[in-house]
Structure 1
């Protein structure tokens, strides 16, 4: 026995020495390397991120040593491919060499520009455990072949443009723990077959177009921790079984059409729920309960049993029941409390724990500031003492009855508040004094106007503008130092005027603008926007001014067989870009307003850019025979001169196309000599 063990030890050491002495052997199999190199060649890359990840991908090196690659040390098979944020551009073909990597266990292509159909071949990775394809611009149906991935534990398809219903084959993924399908355009019902996926810990279907009722037996998800169905069209009652899931910590059902009372069943063990969002539904009372006495028509005391709550949003419950704020006086972990749109009772002796950082009390019929706010030293949400809170960053007192601020100018101006919402109150002229640090102010009644031009703002455009996504009609961020992409989320369906000119913005022109059917004025001049010509702008029926000048737009502005019609367009400037190609003689045939006599009434010009002329400084750049001239109109100038300057701008932007202007009754009362001088300069 001892001799045998000695021989084995000697042989092992000898083998190790041979290994060290011999030339380095590549672990990666040649067929795997070839598949990866071919896959790389299927795409074109933009940016340094791609170069950094794939620069070592050469035929002379071991593919198992490449960045973003992991191999099985025994077989040399590639088991992990992670090209996260590699600026891949091109579609994922059904015959892509990627699908020759049959031993993949983890695949991440997020986020890249893979616009196209997700091929059925994705279901051929029989060993796959993790699939991350969020933000890849896939569209069409989710392939049913995904149901073949029996080992899959993590499926992330967030942020694509998938349509159609969810394939029932997903119910075959019995080892799945994360099912993430947010922010697409999926429709249909919540399949009951999904209840078979008992290993799920996270489900996110938010921001889709799902409808119908949730299954009543949701407690089948016995390991569920995170459940988000927000921003869909789910209806019917909220299943009480959701509250029976002992592991659930986050539940978001806001902005659906759920109705009826909120019923919480008998909870046998302490709930772990930490975040609960039910706002924006059609919930009503009464809520029957055996745990405590009813308070009015809604038994809000059901929340007393959720002692671990850190975030609670029950805004706009659509009930007339009185909610006593003292109900939350013992919630020592609560950091966010949103009760907007409810009928509140606030005692003068009320005390709430100080960890609260976000408190939403809009539309609560409050006419004076509650005294309990004195103790909220961490509140990030006006009597004078409120302005002195060191953590005050966001103040929302919208839809109440406030008419002014209390406090000296010195105290108010030194407040650290950056965002202020005082809309739908009783404020009158003069406009209330604001803190010097305030960057965003919402003071509208119905429609919002946000003009932050001629400042020195830097960084990216904040996505917080999406909070105004039903009211924002004017968004002007001109002449700042903003950078990054223009976010898709900031555009309101009510948008009339958008001006982000003279910044450092890059990326593509957001296609979500196609939803802004009221848009009249669009200016993105003097940026670094890199995109092809936005032919889809012709879908905007009211567009009158397009300025894309001085960017990196490229490619043709004419597509054979695809007529480009702008029936209301008056100003069109695409100069100083990288456009190529030839225009047919009838290119402007569908631009009827430009090619005929135009009747421009004063009120039409008055709202060209969505706000009153007397409120803001405005400028327009005129291109005349290769020269540029900036015409600025200050607040002190007469509105008559301002109207005529817009007429001059229209003529300058389309010389030879306008046949003339009939100004109607306005021209007779205006300064003829000024108008004729400008007209002759362009003639």
Structure 2
């Protein structure tokens, strides 16, 4: 808890305790003197209970952040903020309150505020709500809004940042929105917008000042408006999870400053044209479309590329070896396309020092992995992720332009523990995965796989790997999912794998493995199907134990030897009755008791004796 005595320091002007683990109800105490406190940042902690009314006595506050306060579904008296006449910055987003707020409560504040974030609070909005012409940042995300806030149409010439994502707004994006001269950030994602009003006119789709446009998860259809190509300052364009069709506009080559381009989960077709992508690109996601052809070789100029996802298209190409030049590459997803050929060349190794997710599954890749193939994949072999690197990941993948922008996360689908899952946001820094399943690789599993100590998921199934399972896999102490099924692996499952205590799912089925299954909890808890179609595997969770199998084998061998001895005795008897007619009678007895192959041998032997 925060001691209330902090608020009694008469000379205190700024108090920043945000983004920690402070908890409990906040006690400000009985303030009986004029306070000089101007900045109070308590957001993103674990406070609970009501917001103290005594905040209204901090009359000199210009900056107040109480975001993510847990009021325990209580009622908030928003009038306490009206006493803060000097307030310019107010963030009370995601208070966990059941209050439905008439936004007119903030009408007095709206005449002076520069920044207002009331996201996550259910709002009722009056179309004639007065608002300051100087407000620059407004966030109304996740507020149950059902129509575009019309009060923004007037006196918002300074509005530069607008987030109305995750609401229930339908129909057209209004034409007047494009006339706001200072707008550089717009997030209208996760609504039900169907079209852009005025996009076919001479007006630009957005003001030329626009740098960040998030329009994902709506109902947009038709071709991507070519007017977007006029936004020469655009840095981030996200139109994923819509129903856009046609090709990716060739005029995207005019977006020379764009660094994030996400168009996944649409119906886009055609090819990625050479030169249509900015050299500044850091994140490209065009997965789950109907794109064909080859990867454009102009991507080689994107030296800062960190995220590349082209999954579930019809791209036919060889492995892009030029990616080894990208030392910042962290996510590479080529799955479910028509890539072919080897992914290594003799005497040449791939160095991916920052790669965290490598998914090339369900293609037609071939060839053999050299034993040291994974030796230079440093990020998967080391736990070291310094703060500078993590911040860079955040800025690239989440694009943290203010906290509201940070609500947008990059995502990718992966297979782990036998299930498809979506990896989002911080998962990219946590999950380190390799999936090369569903190809035509052969040769042995490379020993260097054991160097990747931070690997969480390893899937090498449905290939043609031969030889033994390398014991070096036991070094992957963080492994949670291991799939080596549907290969031609032989020998025993290394007992050392029993020490992989985080292992939740394994699959060794459809190989030629033999011997006992490691008697460790993580193996014994698996379904027997994880070891199916390995005729010589034994012990739990299979029904047969290794001891029983050996006993059964010995019994079968003894029975065969006894049968052979019996047959030989009949042969001796037949030979002793060689003369004439007796020989024929003996042959009759032999026909009754002996197998056909032994009879034929006796018959020929008897004839020889008679002669």
Q: Deviations over 1:95-115 (max 9, x none)?
A: 733586566443233454322
Query: Relative to 1, partners in 2 of residues 1:281 and 1:331: Cα closer, same or farther, differing over 3 Å?
Result: same
Which residue number corresponds to residue 115 of structure 1?
48
Shift of 1:205: 3.5
With over 3 angstroms needed to count, the CA separation of the structure-2 counterparts of 1:429 and 1:85, relative to structure 1, is same
- CA radius of gyration, larger in: 2
Other-structure match for 2:144: 210
Establish whether residue 363 from structure 1 lines up as the match of residue 297 from structure 2: no
Aligned pairs (5 A) from 1:88-487: 88-93=22-27, 96-97=29-30, 104-140=37-73, 141-145=75-79, 146-158=81-93, 160-168=95-103, 169-173=105-109, 174-182=111-119, 185-188=120-123, 192=127, 196-206=131-141, 208=142, 210-216=144-150, 218-220=152-154, 221-261=156-196, 263-264=198-199, 267=203, 271-285=208-222, 298=223, 300-324=225-249, 326-342=250-266, 343-346=268-271, 350=275, 352-364=277-289, 365-380=291-306, 381=308, 382-389=319-326, 392-398=329-335, 400-403=337-340, 406-408=343-345, 411-416=348-353, 418-420=355-357, 422=359, 425-426=362-363, 436-438=375-377, 456=383, 474=417
* 2:411/2:425 contact within 8 Å kept: no
- CA-CA distance at 1:358 after TM superposition: 2.4
1:250 Cα deviation from its structure 2 partner: 1.1
Change (3 A) 1:388 1:245: same
- Taking a change above 3 Å as real, the CA distance of residues 177 and 165 of structure 1, as seen in their structure-2 partners, is same
**d(CA) in 2 for partners of 1:340 and 1:166?**
36
Tell me how far 1:318 sits from its aligned partner: 0.6
TM-score normalized by the length of structure 2: 0.57
**Structure 1: tracts of 5 or more residues without a match:** 1-38, 44-53, 71-79, 286-297, 441-451, 476-486, 493-497, 501-608, 622-632, 650-664, 675-683
Q: Which residue of 2 aligns with 1:669?
A: 544
CA distance, structure 1, for counterparts of residue 129 and residue 415 of structure 2: 39
State the shift of 1:348 in Å: 5.7
Distance, in Å, in 2 between the alignment partners of 1:467 and 1:241 is: 30
Task: Tell me, in whole angstroms, the C-alpha distance in 2 between the residues paired with 1:641 and 1:407.
Answer: 33
For the Cα contact (< 8 Å) 1:367–1:402, is it kept in 2? Answer: no
Contact residue 106 and residue 131 of structure 1 kept, 8 A:
yes
SS in 2 for 1:118: coil
Distance in 2 of aligned mates of 1:124 and 1:280 = 43
The 8 Å contact of residues 216 and 241 in structure 1, kept in 2 or not, is answered as: no
- Deviation of 1:155 after TM superposition, in Å, equals 0.4
What aligned pairs does 1:10-25 form with structure 2 within 5 A after superposition?
Answer: none
Deviation at 1:136, TM superposition (A): 4.7
Structure 2 residues not aligned, in runs of 5+? 309-318, 399-408, 433-479, 486-492, 527-539, 550-611
The answer to whether the Cα contact below 8 Å between 2:213 and 2:236 also exists between their aligned partners in 1 is: yes
Shift of 1:170: 1.7
Contact kept, 8 Å, 1:138 with 1:161, in 2: the verdict is: yes
Q: Is the 8 A contact 2:46 2:69 kept in 1?
A: yes
Cα RMSD of the aligned pairs, angstroms, is: 4.9
Asked whether the 8 Å contact 1:404–1:432 carries over to 2, the reply is no
* Contact 2:272 2:295 (8 Å CA) reproduced: no
Mapped contact 1:180–1:204 kept (Cα < 8 A): yes
Look up the match of 2:557: none
Give yes or no for contact 1:157–1:181 (8 Å, CA) kept in 2: yes
CA gap 1:272/1:647 in 2 versus in 1, 3 angstroms:
closer
Q: Given that residues 415 and 436 in structure 1 are in contact (C-alpha distance below 8 angstroms), is that contact kept between their aligned partners in structure 2? A: no
Q: Does the residue aligned with 1:329 lie in a helix, a strand or coil?
A: helix
Q: Which has the higher contact order (CA 8 A, sep 6+)?
A: 2
Supply the distance in 2 between the matched residues of 1:312 and 1:386 (Cα, whole angstroms).
Answer: 23
